[in-house]
């Protein structure tokens, strides 16, 4: 029995089976490559589901974490600590918003954003029957609140009844949003680029139209930038491409580049008229280790000009993917922004392609039922893209 098979068999005996894991045991990483327990190397174009933006083995990042571990890992939110201050300052500087609440995950960030929106509306009229408009085919997380605003009944049905007061509109259909608005609407929540739903960027007129409606009607706009934020689309946050500023933004994934951390970030209006002491909390959220990771990530993004790198390399990435679409009949289109790209597949099971790619030493993901999702570390080069194309074609 191989080392990997032994670990997989033991894991299945003790870990709850909520994932159909691929038959590989990753042991270490370097740059944009992973190595399994049996020594096989893989080119990673999944980045731990859009998390490991810096690539593996970045010495400055690792040193920052080791340094913080030797100082202080946890204190709770009853006290101040320097990494919290520094991480929050950097998020504010790069978002243009006003206040941060750190969480442990993206789903928790969504939960906090929902509570902010409902408290904001409650303070206006004292009512507790406000509604949130979310999008069909969206994905915001697996907790009950996040699942309630996730527009996919496949994820929801086994866990109903969920949180009430949620309506669904169609992404990129402004009339559909308008049709759901009432005097009870307190927030509209959407992903700037839908990820799990199939890599759908918002149309500029749609996102700008939703922002205009929210401003006119004093409805809070919540933008989920958990997957598409942190440089992935070629700007710090995808909404910055559109000139749209949300009232609340959720972040996670590449925010900590592997350390579990998320955040919801509020503008001055939402911060001044929503949560107060006693309304929300977390034992681990914003601990010194997580905040040291966030702070290091922002510093390294700036030092390495990763946003500029994504902008510079995106045309080549898109060109190579467009060439694939032109070459293979079962690839019907490419869509996406920056290093968040999807290839729409017709007539073949995407899962089989993803599995075959793994056999060929290429880590890719799926999105929805018919999309190959490519969300590599932001440090990839043209050479990496070429090698990805070679291994992907071999998997076809």
Q: What is the pLDDT of residue 358?
A: 98
Q: What is the pLDDT of residue 44?
A: 98
Q: Is the pLDDT of residue 6 over 90?
A: yes
Q: 37-47, pLDDT tens digit by residue?
A: 999 999 999 99
For range 267-292, the mean pLDDT: 97
Q: Rounded to whole angstroms, how far apart are CA atoms 153 and 160?
A: 10
Tell me the C-alpha to C-alpha distance, in Å, between residue 192 and each of 132, 197, 296, 331.
17, 12, 25, 24
Tokens of 331: 């690839």
For range 81-102, the mean pLDDT: 98
Q: What is the pLDDT of residue 153?
A: 92
Q: Is the pLDDT of residue 300 over 90?
A: yes
Q: What is the pLDDT of residue 354?
A: 98
Q: Which domains does the chain have, with CATH numbers?
A: 3-57+305-395 (3.90.1150.10), 72-304 (3.40.640.10)
Q: What is the pLDDT of residue 1?
A: 79
Q: Is the pLDDT of residue 145 over 90?
A: yes
| CA dihedral of residues 97, 100, 105, 111 (deg, nearest 10) | -90
For range 92-108, the mean pLDDT: 98
Q: How confident is the model at residue 347 (pLDDT cuts 50, 70, 90)?
A: very high
Tokens of 122: 């409650």
Give φ, ψ of 173 to 5 degrees: -130, 95
For the chain, give the mean pLDDT: 97
Q: Is the pLDDT of residue 17 over 90?
A: yes
Q: 55-84, pLDDT tens digit by residue?
A: 999 999 999 999 999 999 999 999 999 999
Q: Is the pLDDT of residue 184 over 90?
A: yes
Residue in the block written with tokens 């004093």: 218
Q: 196-250, pLDDT tens digit by residue?
A: 999 999 999 999 999 999 999 999 999 999 999 999 999 999 999 999 999 999 9
Q: What is the pLDDT of residue 149?
A: 98
Q: Is the pLDDT of residue 2 over 90?
A: no
Q: Is the pLDDT of residue 180 over 90?
A: yes
Q: 349-383, pLDDT tens digit by residue?
A: 999 999 999 999 999 999 999 999 999 999 999 99
Query: Is residue 118 classed exposed, middle or buried when 0-12, 13-18 and 19+ CB atoms within 10 A define those classes?
Result: buried
Q: H/E/C letters for each residue in 235-291?
A: CCCHHHHCCCCCCEEEECHHHCCCCCCEEEEECHHHHHCCCCCCCCCCCCCCCHHHH
What residues are annotated to the active site?
A: 139, 224, 253
- Is 76 in contact with 236 (CB distance < 8 Å)? no
């Amino acid at each position: 029995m191989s080392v990997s098979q032994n670990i997989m068999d033991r894991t299945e005996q003790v870990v709850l089976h909520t994932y159909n894991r691929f038959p590989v045991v990753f042991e270490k990483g370097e740059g944009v490559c992973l190595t399994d327990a049996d020594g096989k190397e893989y080119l990673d174009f999944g980045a731990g589901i859009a998390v490991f933006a810096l690539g593996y083995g970045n010495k400055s990042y690792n040193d920052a974490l080791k340094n913080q571990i030797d100082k202080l890992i946890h204190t709770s939110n009853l006290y101040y600590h320097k990494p919290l201050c520094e991480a929050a300052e950097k998020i504010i500087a790069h978002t243009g918003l006003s206040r941060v609440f750190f969480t442990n995950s993206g789903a928790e960030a969504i939960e906090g954003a929902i509570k902010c929106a409902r408290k904001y509306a409650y303070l206006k009229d004292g009512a507790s029957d406000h509604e949130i408009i979310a999008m069909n085919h969206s994905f915001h997380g697996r907790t009950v609140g996040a699942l309630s605003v996730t527009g996919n009944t496949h994820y929801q049905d086994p866990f109903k009844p969920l949180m009430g007061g949620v309506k669904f509109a169609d992404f990129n259909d402004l009339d559909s949003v308008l049709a759901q608005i009432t005097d009870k609407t307190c927030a509209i929540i959407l992903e700037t680029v839908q990820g799990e739903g199939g890599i759908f960027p918002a149309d500029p007129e749609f996102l700008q139209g939703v922002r205009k409606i929210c401003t006119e009607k004093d409805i809070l706009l919540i933008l989920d930038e958990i997957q598409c934020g942190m440089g992935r689309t070629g700007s710090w946050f995808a909404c910055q491409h559109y000139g749209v500023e949300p009232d609340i933004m959720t972040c996670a994934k590449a925010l900590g580049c592997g350390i579990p951390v998320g955040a919801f970030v509020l503008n001055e209006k939402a911060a001044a008229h929503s949560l107060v002491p006693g309304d929300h909390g977390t034992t681990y959220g914003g601990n010194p280790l997580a905040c040291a990771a966030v702070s290091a990530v922002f510093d390294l993004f700036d030092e390495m000009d990763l946003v500029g790198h994504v902008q510079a390399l995106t045309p080549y990435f898109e060109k190579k993917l467009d060439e694939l679409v032109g070459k293979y009949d079962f690839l019907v289109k490419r869509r996406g922004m920056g290093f968040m790209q999807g290839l729409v597949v017709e007539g073949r099971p995407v899962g089989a392609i993803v599995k075959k790619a793994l056999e060929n030493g290429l880590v890719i993901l799926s999105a929805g039922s018919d999309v190959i999702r490519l969300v590599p570390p932001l440090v990839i080069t043209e050479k990496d893209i070429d090698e990805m194309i070679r291994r992907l074609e071999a998997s076809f």
